[in-house]
Amino acid sequence: MGATIVCTHSHRYEPHGVSVVIILAESHLSLHTWPEFKLASVDIFVCNPRTDPNLAKTHLHRALKAEKIAELEVERGRLDHIAQMRGRVQEPVFTDS
């Protein structure tokens, strides 16, 4: 997808499943699997407009042999998108602590 891998970390669960985090110079990609439910959750987060997250999505779709895909795309920094998903956006609260 045109991203630069900084590092990766993975963890296998017993009796099955895996979590993988890939730190990118452009942000991150994470994958969590639940084979017992035939489910995987993927987060592809990039901040460089030259990267193409759709390439990663297509590759993972094929590699995982996914029969169905449900996706939610949120444009980074667009709080109005998040507000539509949650129904509202909370303003940050700052304290003097």
pLDDT tens digits along 34-91: 999 889 999 999 888 889 998 998 898 889 888 888 887 777 666 666 666 655 545 5
Task: Name the 3-class secondary structure at 65.
Answer: coil
Quick one: CA torsion of 52, 85, 69, 41, rounded to 10 degrees? 80
Question: Where do the domains of the chain lie, and which CATH numbers do they carry?
Answer: 5-67 (3.60.90.10)
**Largest distance between two CA atoms of the chain:** 51
- Token pair listed for 83: 């507000």
Contact 31, 24 (CB under 8 A): no
Sign, CA dihedral 80-49-54-4, equals negative
Which pLDDT score is estimated for 18? 96
* Amino acid at site 48: N
| Catalytic residue numbers, as ranges | 27, 32, 47
